[in-house]
Structures are given as structure tokens and as C-alpha cells.
């Protein structure tokens, strides 16, 4: 049995400068176990990139950031912030020149330059976003699964170690319950399945595996968005209840005023309305996240599930094509190949995808603090 083992990556983060837009790195030494992909006997086809990820940076700034991440991780977030600031300034400069030349004979030229600069920045930001996601995986000591075309031998794929505990440790209990239900639904494995069930073999096409992976990315993104919305609604409901209690106190003062009947009347009406609205919202938000999500109307559901930026859409597409397709696409004949794998390996891919979607939401937020992303 051959084993394809990625090179060890040892990151030793130090304190990040306080003007970096991301949280300071903890002063601890992080050591990562390598991802091992077990394949059948014979010559190994697994070749891992230096970052052990399916997608390699396509731009010079992306490759430079990759080098910083591997050799000087303590400077990674600072370097990312500087690169995003440079991109934002370059784009703004190109747009300014386009505006200034709007009435001149060079207007067409500067408009084209601005379009090319926007496209160039989009690709660089995609590399930056991908490396930020990779960094978040490295924080929990999980490597992204490499390209499957390099790891499938004789139609068989096994991914080990599974890293289930690390990938599940990211979430609260109620979110984890929803993720386990999702895993059970998409791979047909019971939530509390036995070890024997987990290691049972199944057959699936690479294309179908890719679709499950994409759906799980979107589910992770949706859960992140919905959980934050749930938390915000809870805070607003509690504040509304506090406002209601404060309003009742003021009414007691009005009752003691001899000529305050008009204020007292309108005060009581407002108090009744606030009490009705506040309690209704509080009851709605105090339940589980799963119940809260079930109450979404179609528009809210779509807003939470939709990727917000074009960069995120392109990144998901390119990452999945690199992971599952031989030629960088999901439409190659090889994607119809039926592979044999264990339920444990499929679960590993699904949990990775859900985490990828959650991290994607986070990185969009981080990048938006410096560089304005183009909406999807």
C-alpha cells in the first residue's frame, strides 16, 4: 500500500502588528500533521503543491503571499493588508483617470485601462481570499484535500486522517447538529453511525462528489450568515424588551403628574404596542437556529445563501474544478469516473466543504474592511 504524504508545514506565529486588520496571532508554535491519502498498491500519482491545496496562486502577488505564509507566517496578515490597500489604491487611481478624461479623446483608452485594472485586481483578490481560507484551515491543523486526480489509484480513494474532530470543533452545538444532519442527508449515513458503517465502501462518480462538495460549501456559507443574523435578532429583541421595561418605569412617573393624562394615554398605547412586538420577536429568536431558519421567507433565505461577491463565486468554481477535474473543469470525461471510497472519506470532504463555506464568509468580511468587493 503506497502512502502519499504532504510535506510537513510548521508555522510559528508571533504577535501581529497592532495596525493589522485581522486578530493578533497567538504566540504559540503550531505543528501540522500531514494529510495522508491512501491509495491502492502500485505507483503513486499523488503530487502535493507546497501549500498542499488543489488551487495554486495564479498571480505574482498571490505567489509572493504564498511564500510569506510558508516562511514568515507572523507577517502574513500584515502583508495581506498592504497588498489589498495597494490594489484598492491602484483601482481608485485608474477610475479617477477615467473620470478626468471623460470629455477628452482619450476617454475610451482610460475606460479600457480601468476595466483591465478591475479584472487584474479581481484575480489577485481571489488569490488573497484563497490563501486566507487556507490559513484558517491551518489554524485548526487541517490541510485541504489535494487534487483527486493525483490521489485516485485503480478507482479507489481513501483520505486519512479524517480530521472530523478538528472540523467539527469550529461550531456551536446547535450549528453542529444541523451540519451532522446535512452530512447524514447528502451521504446517507446515520448521525450516530458505528465505526464499521463509517468504513464501509461505497461507489460514487467524481462529478456527483463534486456536486455534493459545492452544495456543502454553500450550506456552510448559509449557516454562517444565518447564525449571525439569528444572533443579531436576539440582541435586538432583548434591547426591545429592555426598552419596554424602561418605558414602563417612565409611565409610573407620568401617573404621579397631575396634568399628565394625555401623555399617560399615549404612553400606555405605545407600551402595549412595544410589549406585543417585543415579546413576539423574542419568542421567535429564542428558539434553536434550525427553527429560526425554518421561519425564513424565500427572499431572506436567498439572501443568506447567495455568495455576496463575484470573487467568492469565481473562487468556489475554480477551487472545485481544480479539486475534482483533471483539466481544471468539471465537464471532462474523467468526472464521470466511478470511484470506490469509504463513507468516512466522503464525510471528510463534506465537512471540509462546510468549513470552506464558513471561512469564505469570514474572509469576505475581512477583505471588505480594506478592499471593496464587487457584488455578485
What does the alpha-carbon distance between residue 376 and residue 373 come to, in Å, rounded to a whole number?
Answer: 9
Residue 266 pLDDT greater than 90, yes or no: no
Residue 52 is predicted with a pLDDT of 72
Looking at per-residue confidence, does 116 or 266 come out higher? 116
Mind spelling out the 3-state secondary structure of 118-161?
Answer: HHHHHHHHHHHHHHHHHHHHHHCCCCCCCCHHHCCECCEEEEEC
Of 39-48, 242-251, 294-303, 326-335, the one with minimum mean pLDDT is: 39-48
Mean pLDDT score across all residues of the chain: 77
Of 58-72, 81-95, 152-166, 245-259, the one with minimum mean pLDDT is: 245-259
Place of cell 407620568: 254
Looking at per-residue confidence, does 50 or 112 come out higher? 112
- The pLDDT-based confidence of 327 (bands split at 50, 70, 90) is low
- The dihedral of CA 344, 345, 351, 355: what is its sign? positive
Residue 153, Cβ density class (10 Å: 0-12 exposed, 13-18 middle, ≥19 buried)? buried
What does the alpha-carbon distance between residue 306 and residue 222 come to, in Å, rounded to a whole number?
Answer: 8
Half-sphere exposure of 277 (CA within 13 A, CB side): 13
Looking at per-residue confidence, does 59 or 336 come out higher? 59
How long a stretch of residues is the chain? 376
Per residue in 118-138, pLDDT (tens digit) is 999 999 999 999 999 999 999
Per residue in 145-165, pLDDT (tens digit) is 999 888 888 889 988 888 999
Residue 44 is predicted with a pLDDT of 39
Q: Which residues contact 353 (CB under 8 A, 6 or more apart)?
A: 212, 213, 214, 215, 216, 217, 220
Most confident of 37-46, 53-62, 102-111: 53-62
Nearest to 350 by CA among 218, 154, 202: 218
Looking at per-residue confidence, does 350 or 33 come out higher? 350
Residue 36 pLDDT greater than 90, yes or no: no
**H helices present in 188-342, as ranges:** 195-198, 206-255, 261-285, 289-294, 298-305, 310-324
Q: Domain residues of the chain, as ranges?
A: 60-234+297-369
Query: Residue 314: helix, strand or coil by DSSP?
Result: helix
Looking at per-residue confidence, does 77 or 10 come out higher? 77
Nearest to 151 by CA among 326, 22, 358: 326
Residue 243 is predicted with a pLDDT of 55
Residue 284 is predicted with a pLDDT of 56
Q: Assign residue 248 a region: left if phi > 0, alpha if psi is -120 to 50, beta otherwise?
A: alpha
Nearest to 360 by CA among 230, 217, 227, 228: 217
Nearest to 218 by CA among 357, 12, 33, 326: 357
Amino acid at each position: 500500500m503506497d502512502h502519499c504524504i504532504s510535506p510537513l508545514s510548521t508555522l510559528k506565529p508571533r504577535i501581529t502588528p497592532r495596525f493589522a486588520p485581522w486578530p493578533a496571532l497567538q504566540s504559540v508554535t503550531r505543528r501540522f500533521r500531514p494529510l495522508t491519502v491512501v491509495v491502492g498498491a502500485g505507483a503513486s500519482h499523488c503530487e502535493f503543491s507546497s501549500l498542499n491545496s488543489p488551487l495554486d496562486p495564479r498571480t505574482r502577488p498571490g505567489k509572493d503571499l504564498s511564500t510569506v505564509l510558508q516562511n514568515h507566517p507572523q507577517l502574513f496578515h500584515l502583508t495581506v493588508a498592504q497588498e489589498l490597500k495597494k490594489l484598492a489604491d491602484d483601482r481608485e487611481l485608474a477610475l479617477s483617470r477615467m473620470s478626468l478624461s471623460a470629455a477628452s479623446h482619450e476617454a475610451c483608452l482610460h475606460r479600457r485601462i480601468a476595466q483591465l485594472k478591475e479584472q487584474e485586481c479581481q484575480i489577485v483578490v481571489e488569490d488573497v481570499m484563497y490563501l486566507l481560507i487556507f490559513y484558517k484551515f491551518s489554524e485548526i491543523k487541517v490541510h485541504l484535500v489535494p487534487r483527486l486526480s493525483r490521489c485516485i489509484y485503480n478507482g479507489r480513494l481513501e483520505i486519512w486522517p479524517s480530521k472530523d474532530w478538528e472540523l467539527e470543533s469550529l461550531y456551536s452545538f446547535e450549528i453542529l447538529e444541523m451540519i451532522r444532519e446535512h452530512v447524514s442527508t447528502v451521504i446517507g449515513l446515520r448521525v450516530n453511525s458505528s465505526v464499521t458503517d463509517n468504513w464501509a465502501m461505497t461507489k460514487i462518480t467524481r462529478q456527483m462528489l463534486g456536486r455534493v462538495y459545492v452544495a456543502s460549501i454553500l450550506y456552510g456559507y448559509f449557516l454562517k450568515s444565518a447564525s449571525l443574523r439569528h444572533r443579531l435578532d436576539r440582541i435586538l429583541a432583548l434591547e426591545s424588551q429592555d426598552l419596554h421595561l424602561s418605558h414602563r418605569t417612565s409611565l409610573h412617573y407620568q401617573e404621579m403628574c397631575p396634568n399628565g393624562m394625555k401623555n399617560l394615554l399615549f404612553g400606555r398605547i405605545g407600551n402595549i404596542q412595544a410589549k406585543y412586538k417585543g415579546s413576539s420577536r423574542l419568542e421567535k429568536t429564542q428558539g434553536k437556529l434550525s427553527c429560526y431558519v425554518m421561519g425564513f421567507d424565500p427572499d431572506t433565505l436567498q439572501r443568506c445563501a447567495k455568495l455576496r461577491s463575484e470573487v467568492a463565486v469565481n473562487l468556489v468554481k475554480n477551487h472545485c474544478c481544480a479539486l475534482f477535474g483533471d483539466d481544471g473543469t468539471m465537464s471532462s470525461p474523467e468526472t464521470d469516473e466511478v470511484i470506490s471510497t469509504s463513507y468516512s472519506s466522503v464525510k471528510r470532504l463534506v465537512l471540509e466543504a462546510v468549513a470552506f463555506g464558513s471561512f469564505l464568509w469570514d474572509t469576505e468580511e475581512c477583505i471588505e474592511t480594506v478592499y471593496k468587493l464587487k457584488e455578485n
